[in-house]
């Protein structure tokens, strides 16, 4: 990646082992929030990495196995819809990212995390980087793993709950999804504290 932030260059210069971390799935009404942590191999770079939101679905799917193959280490972790309801989405995002870091099979000396805040209980020092998924290769790789894995999860859930169209909208509150939710009601995969779901549940109990 041509643009590299100063913090990453410092870590490279100090020869520290660091990971990039990102998550996907904060906005959807159902399913897990998914996080990934990735340690890239400086001797085996990956071309075309970028913020997963700036990549086409085809490009993300192409990069998914390449990142897994070329990375020195990676881990994909989750927080469930129930956990999101219990601790709220912000804390669930932080917990999923912490779980991803803890799940790496090599010892990490620093974590570069997309966003403007750090989880409280990181197992190593960390730096939060706004728009890091577009600036830091390791975070870009993590963003791709998290996004693609979550999309795959939704395709699998669609097989169990085909009435909602999850494979198409991936759980986001599209018009078609809200109409299906109104018709069939929420199941256990839904985040009951999210507005549209909460509204339906309140109407049902009123």
Is the pLDDT at 3 greater than 50? The verdict is no
Residues of the chain above pLDDT 90, percent = 81
- In the chain, the domains with their CATH numbers are 6-161 (3.30.420.10)
Digit-coded pLDDT (tens) for 143-178: 999 999 999 999 999 999 999 999 999 999 999 999
Cα separation of 11 and 121, whole Å?
21
Cα separation of 101 and 60, whole Å?
22
Residues whose CB is less than 8 angstroms from the CB of residue 145 and which lie 6 or more positions away in sequence, other chains included? 36, 38, 64, 67, 68, 74, 76
Listed residue (60, 23, 24, 30) closest to 174, CA to CA: 30
> Model's pTM, two decimal places?
0.92
Residue 141's CB is within 10 A of a number of other CB atoms, namely 31
List the structure tokens of 149: 């894995």
State the pLDDT at residue 1.
38
H or E element, residue 46: none
- Degrees to nearest 5, angle at CA 94 with 114 and 25: 75
131-146 average pLDDT score: 94
Which pLDDT band holds residue 179 (cuts at 50, 70, 90)? Answer: very high
State the pLDDT at residue 11.
65
Digit-coded pLDDT (tens) for 103-126: 999 999 999 999 999 998 899 999
Is the pLDDT at 14 greater than 90? The verdict is no
State the pLDDT at residue 189.
97
Residues whose CB is less than 8 angstroms from the CB of residue 199 and which lie 6 or more positions away in sequence, other chains included? none
Residues of the chain above pLDDT 70, percent = 92
75-103 average pLDDT score: 98
Digit-coded pLDDT (tens) for 44-71: 989 888 778 888 999 999 999 999 999 9
Residue 83's CB is within 10 A of a number of other CB atoms, namely 18
Is the pLDDT at 10 greater than 70? The verdict is no
């Amino acid at each position: 990646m041509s643009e590299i932030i100063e913090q990453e260059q410092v870590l490279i210069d100090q020869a520290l082992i660091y990971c990039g971390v990102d998550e996907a799935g904060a906005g959807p009404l159902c399913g897990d929030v998914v996080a990934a942590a990735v340690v890239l191999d400086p001797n085996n770079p990956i071309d075309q990495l970028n913020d997963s939101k700036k990549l086409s679905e085809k490009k993300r799917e192409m990069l998914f196995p390449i990142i897994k193959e070329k990375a020195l280490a990676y881990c994909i972790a989750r927080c469930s819809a129930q956990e999101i309801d219990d601790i709220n989405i912000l804390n669930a995002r932080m917990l999923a990212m912490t779980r991803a870091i803890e799940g790496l099979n090599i010892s990490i000396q620093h974590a570069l995390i997309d966003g403007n805040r750090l989880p409280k209980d990181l197992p190593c020092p960390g730096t939060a980087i706004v728009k890091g998924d577009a600036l830091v290769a390791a975070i870009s790789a993590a963003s791709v793993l998290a996004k693609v894995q979550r999309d795959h999860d939704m395709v699998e859930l669609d097989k169990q709950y085909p009435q909602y169209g999850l494979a198409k909208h991936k759980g986001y509150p599209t018009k078609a999804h809200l109409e299906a939710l109104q018709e069939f009601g929420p199941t256990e995969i839904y985040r009951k504290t999210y507005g549209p779901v909460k509204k339906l549940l309140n109407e049902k109990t009123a």
